[in-house]
Amino acid sequence: MKKYNSQKIEKKWQRTWEKMDIFRASDRSRRPRYYLLVEFPYPSGEGLHVGHCRSYIGLDVVARKRRMQGFNVLFPMGWDAFGLPTENFAIKTGIHPIIVTRKNTANFKRQQKKIGLSFDWSREINTTDPEYYKWTQWIFLQLFKKGLAYKAKMPINWCPKCRIGLANEEVIEGNCERCGTKAVRKEKEQWMLKITKYAERLIQDLAEVDYPEKVKVSQKEWIGRSEGWEILFKIKDSGLKIPVFTTRVDTLFGCTYLVLAPEHPIIQSIKSKILNFKSVEKYIEKSKKKIEKERISEKKEKTGIKLRGVAAINPVNNRKVPIFVADYVMVHYGTGAIMAVPAHDQRDFDFAKRYNLPIIEVIRPADRPADRPAHRSAEIRSPQILRRSYLRQADQQAYEGEGVLINSGRFTGMKSEDAKERIGQWLSQKGLAKKAIHYKLRDWIFSRQRYWGEPIPMVKCQKCGWLPVSEKDLPVKLPRIKEYKPTEEGESPLAKAESWIKTKCPKCQGPARRETDVMPNWAGSNWYYLRYCDPKNNKKLADPKKLKYWMAPARRSPKGVGGVDWYNGGMEHTTLHLLYSRFIYKFLWDIGAVPKVIGSEPYKKRTSHGIILGKGGIKMSKSKGNVINPEEVIKEHGADTLRVYEMFMGPFEQMIPWDTKGVKGVKRFLEKVWKLQEKINQKSKTKDQNDKSKFKNKKLESLIHKTINKVSEDIENLKFNTAVSALMILANEMEQQKEVSKKDYSVFLTLLSPLAPHLTEELWEKMGFRGFCCQQKWPKYNPKLIREEGITLVVQINGKVRDKIEVEAGISKQQAKKLALAQEKIKKRLVGKEIKKFIFVPRKLINFVAVDKK
Ligand code: ANZ
Ligand code: ZN
């Protein structure tokens, strides 16, 4: 027997599979179809890392199994290739992003092929291909036509040193990622997408899909639906009112001041009344420079300024309360103004402490007796109102929970939950309140002042304003330029491409100028899974018939939910890519660009793999020198070892550190599988010919069926690690045998095939079996055989082991006794003895307590 040579075997089978084109998905097939999707990568210059591989291998295992189960499987791959690193590389080297992208994608593809991933390469897509981004632009035009794309002045993160707009992920702890300079805010006209219009549906429809609970929760939190009331506060001695949004209208009696966001427009309207307007203006200017991350940071001390000379009236008790401007209140959320209740809101509490403002408790925790508060505090301001406190002043904490109202006029004694409704209704009868729902989610800033992205297909005519490029003129191709650096004012480098910018107005044919902003990173990935269904279509983003074929709910589907059958990707994309693409899908579905039968969600099932850490459990990074290159693992141990190790290293959904020893252990397992070929009874000619004549090994037979069951179920439940260990146990058992039948070995190989496709293919051929191993029928188990397994019972006499017997696991006490007494060795030893007692420990032992007969 030759040694297991992974290098040779893997090359051979990768070539053969490719030549035979066996992973191509058919758009028409009698077989049931199944659409499996992994997030397509950004082809960086560094190449694949083992983290990418985890997602690819996991779903490749599923894809291979599905094919063996008789499905027509769509398992595609492509490139999300627009983005910053490529552009920054171009700025540094002057090498055009197209060239860099071409090189990087070729490298990624070569690496993926080396892993033996069963992608249908005929469907490869690239978001930077004009034939692809033509449709990304087309989608933008539809959004614009439906009023869901609009231009607005929005703040961006700006690095004053690099003179460049920064994406949020480029701001690290408030500083520019590249040069470390403090990032500031800058206002820019931006294209926006109205994702907020879909906020409610994006929450509601989560009920229909099969996502991990933590994914659903973080999407819901990101959208941030809040139900509450808008309360009107009159400004004293003026006809003006300030609406505030609150989820705790029950605490209204404890409101001791109002806070406006620095950008709140009412400040300008009451300007003349504000005695210290100069200082207020200064404060506003300062906070304008702060980026949002800094403003909402809990660590930073809250700052603000009082508007002197003005006050508001608390509508529940007509008490005068001061008005502040503070940048911990955001202009874009709720009404941009709040009623502050320092006793029951931590931010307000911190602020009140700092500015010496009264703290009035209005909620008593329900578990505290009304007359005996747990803490007394002399620190409480406003002693005329409060003598006792339920607050834990020592901890500097507000009580944010529910409870019973105190100090609240005629609502005192009411449960806070009830008071929300009662106080709200009472004020609404006076026209001072209304119910309101607000979402944290904001409209999506869809412009980047960059080069390497999809041009936004809009032109501005001096006479006619902003107009969409006519659909027949798509794609608006990204021009080749020489200087990739954004301009000094932070405009896109395209702003310097004069000849490209100059165009004709689609309406009046007069001179017009193109939009120079490009789309953000997430644009191309919004809809790519649709394109895979029909990647070469030049009339539509995809043929509805093909979309229907791949994505309409299967007839057997219980709830009738359609979409990609199974989508795996990183947890880090939960709130960006996953949410954005659900929004865009819903829009396309609404306008009829995708067939109605598919349903309103793009992905039926979503799973997430855990990230792979470096040795010792720290993040893999170049600087730590702990990056594992999959190609090196392949070179040393083979792709099958890489595959099986990545599946075996731990639960798929958990973070896990790379362990070189574990890799070697897996390699030894595969070597064992290779050696098993020596155990095969070569006389049994075909794999179907079971050697019935011979003694049938019940234990092995049962183990095989159990393994079929376990591997089948584990793969479905992403428990690849336990599937591998079940196969290891089976391999060990086979190794113990004098010989293994061809049939049993063939079952083992088919089960291992999705995990280690090359090795199993080679052994399949060596055994003389017909066809490809990876195209065999997925084995079925016999339920009878997995229920009853053989176990070994120890038979003792007076506590000494005298024999061992093979029995069925479920054997009864009486049966076990009978069987034991029938054994020759036992019979002999019990001659002339009387059995006094019989002890039976199921699955373990039998003990006869025997004494000599008198
Ligand atoms: C009074 C109050 C008393 C509040 C209390 C909370 C506790 P969520 O659940 O996040 O929606 N708020 C409203 N608009 C805001 C803005 N633009 N910037 C910062 N904070 C704002 O929280 C709603 C609560 O957040 C609102 O309820 C308001 O504070 C604050 F014991 O009003 B609350
Ligand atoms: Zn015009």
Residue nearest (by alpha carbon) to ligand 1 atom 14: 334
What number does the ligand 1 atom closest to the CA of 363 have?
31
**pLDDT value of residue 651:** 95
Our answer on whether the CB atom of 247 is closer than 6 Å to any ligand 1 atom is yes
- Return phi, psi of residue 555, to 5°: -60, -30
- Kindly provide the residue ranges of all beta strands, DSSP E only, lying in 559-616, ordered along the sequence: 566-570, 606-609, 612-613
Q: Hey, which of 244, 298, 345, 362 would you mutate to test ligand 1's pocket, going by the most ligand atoms within 8 Å of its Cβ?
A: 345
Could you tell me whether strands 33-38 and 566-570 are parallel, antiparallel, or unpaired per DSSP bridges? parallel
C-alpha 338 to ligand 1 mean position (Å): 7
Integer Cα distance of 702 and 789 in angstroms: 6
Roughly what angle, to the nearest 10 degrees, separates helices 639-648 and 50-68? 90
What number does the ligand 1 atom closest to the CA of 249 have?
1
Q: By C-alpha distance, which of 92, 34, 110, 111 is closest to 68?
A: 34
Residue nearest (by alpha carbon) to ligand 1 atom 31: 344
**What global pTM score does this model have?**
0.84
Q: Hey, which of 231, 245, 297, 324 would you mutate to test ligand 1's pocket, going by the most ligand atoms within 8 Å of its Cβ?
A: 245
C-alpha 251 to ligand 1 mean position (Å): 11
Return the higher-pLDDT residue of 30 and 171.
Answer: 30
Our answer on whether the CB atom of 341 is closer than 6 Å to any ligand 1 atom is yes
Q: Which residues contact 284 (CB under 8 A, 6 or more apart)?
A: 262, 263, 267, 325
Our answer on whether the CB atom of 326 is closer than 6 Å to any ligand 1 atom is no
Q: What is the mean pLDDT of residues 505-513?
A: 94
**pLDDT value of residue 692:** 47
Could you tell me whether strands 225-235 and 304-313 are parallel, antiparallel, or unpaired per DSSP bridges? antiparallel
C-alpha 406 to ligand 1 mean position (Å): 20
Integer Cα distance of 769 and 843 in angstroms: 39
pLDDT tens digits, residue range 693-727? 344 577 898 899 999 999 999 999 999 999 999 99
Q: Hey, which of 233, 249, 333, 390 would you mutate to test ligand 1's pocket, going by the most ligand atoms within 8 Å of its Cβ?
A: 333
Burial environment of residue 178 by CB neighbours within 10 A (0 to 12, 13 to 18, 19 or more): middle
User: Which position has the token pair 């794309």?
Assistant: 149
Q: Which residues contact 311 (CB under 8 A, 6 or more apart)?
A: 235, 236, 320, 321, 322, 323
User: For the stretch 311-341, what's the b/e string if a residue is b when 16 or more beta carbons lie within 10 angstroms of its beta carbon?
Assistant: bbbbbbeeeebbbbbbbbbbeebbbbbbbbb
pLDDT tens digits, residue range 248-260? 999 999 999 999 9
pLDDT tens digits, residue range 34-82? 999 999 999 988 899 898 899 999 999 999 999 999 999 999 999 999 9
> Which ligand sits closest to the CA of 467?
2
C-alpha 760 to ligand 1 mean position (Å): 61
**pLDDT value of residue 392:** 60
Cβ(40)–Cβ(78) under 8 Å? yes
Q: Hey, which of 227, 229, 246, 296 would you mutate to test ligand 1's pocket, going by the most ligand atoms within 8 Å of its Cβ?
A: 246
C-alpha 473 to ligand 2 mean position (Å): 16
Residue 374 has pLDDT above 50, yes or no: no
**pLDDT value of residue 154:** 85
C-alpha 459 to ligand 2 mean position (Å): 9
**pLDDT value of residue 393:** 58
**pLDDT value of residue 558:** 60
> Which ligand sits closest to the CA of 334?
1
Our answer on whether the CB atom of 346 is closer than 6 Å to any ligand 1 atom is no
Cβ(181)–Cβ(159) under 8 Å? yes
C-alpha 467 to ligand 2 mean position (Å): 8
Q: Hey, which of 223, 257, 324, 338 would you mutate to test ligand 1's pocket, going by the most ligand atoms within 8 Å of its Cβ?
A: 338
Our answer on whether the CB atom of 338 is closer than 6 Å to any ligand 1 atom is yes
**pLDDT value of residue 381:** 43
Cβ(414)–Cβ(422) under 8 Å? yes
**pLDDT value of residue 383:** 39
**Is the N-terminal amide bond of 475 cis, ω within 30° of 0?**
yes
C-alpha 352 to ligand 2 mean position (Å): 55
Residue nearest (by alpha carbon) to ligand 1 atom 26: 246
C-alpha 33 to ligand 2 mean position (Å): 49
pLDDT tens digits, residue range 292-346? 777 877 777 889 999 999 999 999 999 999 999 999 999 989 999 999 999 999 9
What number does the ligand 1 atom closest to the CA of 333 have?
17
Residue 446 has pLDDT above 80, yes or no: yes
C-alpha 386 to ligand 1 mean position (Å): 24
As given in the structure block, the two tokens for residue 39 are 């997030």
C-alpha 466 to ligand 2 mean position (Å): 9
**pLDDT value of residue 624:** 78
Could you tell me whether strands 78-79 and 125-126 are parallel, antiparallel, or unpaired per DSSP bridges? parallel
pLDDT band, very low/low/confident/very high, at 109 (cuts 50, 70, 90): very high
